[in-house]
Every structure is written in C-alpha cells, then in structure tokens.
C-alpha cells in the first residue's frame, strides 16, 4: 500500500490525485489507521494470517464482495459514487484485498486533509470506528475484497453531517486520537 495526501484537484475519483506528499505509517497510526500486507498465495496460507488478525480483534464473520463493471452492469457508476461519499461507521472496518486495487481515503482530523491509501491484492486495512473515510476503485475498475465483521455481516454508512459529528462513536474516536 502507498499512502499520500490527496491533491484536491477536480477529476475522476478513480485517478491517483497524488499531491506528491507521502503519508507515513506513523501518520496513519496517529489517526488510528492500521495497515498490514499479507500476500495472497495459491496455497491459501493467507487465510490463516487473516484468521489470526480476525481472532486477535475478536471478529467472527466475513464475506467477500466483488465490484466491477462486468459484475454491476448499469449500477456500476451509481454504486462507486455511493461508496465515495464521506462517511463513518459505528464499527471498526477491516478490509483485505484479494484481487484488483482501489483507494481508501481517510480524513486526517487535525488538518481536514484526505490521505489516500492505494491498496492492492494482499493489503489489509483497519479503520477505527468513527473515522471519516470514503472508497473508490482506481482505473482498473475492479476489486475483490474480504470484509471482516465482529458478528453478522453489516455495513451501515453514516454520511458526514451535524448528526454524525455528534455521534458518540465519532466522539470516542476523537478522544482516542486525543483531539480536544
């Protein structure tokens, strides 16, 4: 995975939007974002490593989603635009890319800047509950991703606004990164 600051220029969300300013693992950790690379191998050894991460974080369930023009047909553009709305979740979000590539943009609270994380196969990302983020494919236009869940699979996005700014999970997130 490569992380850098988003350039904020107009243009297709799937373009790199690379400002040329890198974001270090330390910067990501300071906002609660964790990254790990687990190589996807034909023998399936990666499954044991992902299962170990799930057990360590008390996750009991997962699903696999595929996003592509071929798979979504006429819904493709609408669906990827919906993922790109700035939002948060009340649960931690863990994603492991099995195939393809895309971008997770995470909001650096102190500066309100976007940090763009370009992920490929083998990248595992942990986003804390309450962090503002968004997702888009890159120009490859396809991804197959394992989503991990504490219990039953659920994905509830709370789009950014006054209500989410006051959400208790958002407040707890800000407290966890020591924002006053």
- With a CB cutoff of 8 Å and minimum separation 6, the contacts of 24 are 3
Sign of the Cα torsion 129, 130, 131, 135 reads positive
Instruction: Please give the chain's pLDDT, 180 residues, in tens.
Output: 999 999 999 999 999 999 999 999 999 999 999 999 999 999 999 999 999 999 999 999 999 999 999 999 999 999 999 999 999 999 999 999 999 999 999 999 989 999 999 999 999 999 999 999 999 999 999 999 999 998 877 778 999 999 999 999 999 999 999 854
Number of folded domains in the chain? 1
What pLDDT, on a 0 to 100 scale, did the predictor assign at position 179? 59
Is residue 45 a part of any domain in this protein?
yes
Is residue 108 a part of any domain in this protein?
yes
Binding residues for Ni(2+): 87, 89, 93, 133
Is residue 1 a part of any domain in this protein?
no
Place of tokens 């789009």: 159
Is residue 7 a part of any domain in this protein?
no
Binding residues: 87, 89, 93, 133
**Residues of the chain by 3-state class (helix, strand, coil), percent to 5:** 25, 40, 35
List the one residue out of 47, 73, 69, 145 whose CA is nearest residue 102. 145
Pairing of strands 61-68, 133-137: unpaired
Which pTM value belongs to this model? 0.94
Domain that holds residue 97: 21-176
Binding residues for Fe(2+): 87, 89, 93, 133
Q: CATH number of the domain at 128, please.
A: 2.60.120.10
């Amino acid at each position: 995975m490569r992380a850098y600051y988003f350039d904020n220029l107009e243009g297709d969300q799937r373009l790199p939007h690379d400002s040329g300013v890198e974001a270090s693992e330390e910067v990501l950790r300071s906002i609660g974002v964790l990254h790990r690379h687990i190589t996807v191998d034909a023998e399936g050894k990666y499954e044991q490593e992902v299962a170990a991460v799930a057990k360590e974080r008390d996750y009991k369930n997962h699903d696999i989603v595929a996003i592509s023009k071929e798979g979504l047909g006429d819904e493709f553009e609408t669906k990827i635009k919906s993922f790109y709305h700035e939002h948060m979740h009340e649960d931690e979000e863990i994603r492991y890319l099995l195939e393809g590539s895309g971008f997770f943009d995470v909001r650096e609270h102190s500066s309100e800047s976007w940090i763009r994380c370009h992920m490929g196969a083998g990248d595992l990302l942990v986003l804390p509950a309450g962090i503002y983020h968004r997702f888009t494919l890159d120009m490859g236009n396809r991804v197959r991703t394992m989503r991990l869940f504490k219990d039953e699979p659920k994905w509830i996005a709370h789009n950014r606004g006054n209500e989410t700014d006051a959400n208790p999970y958002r407040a707890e997130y800000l407290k966890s990164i020591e924002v006053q």
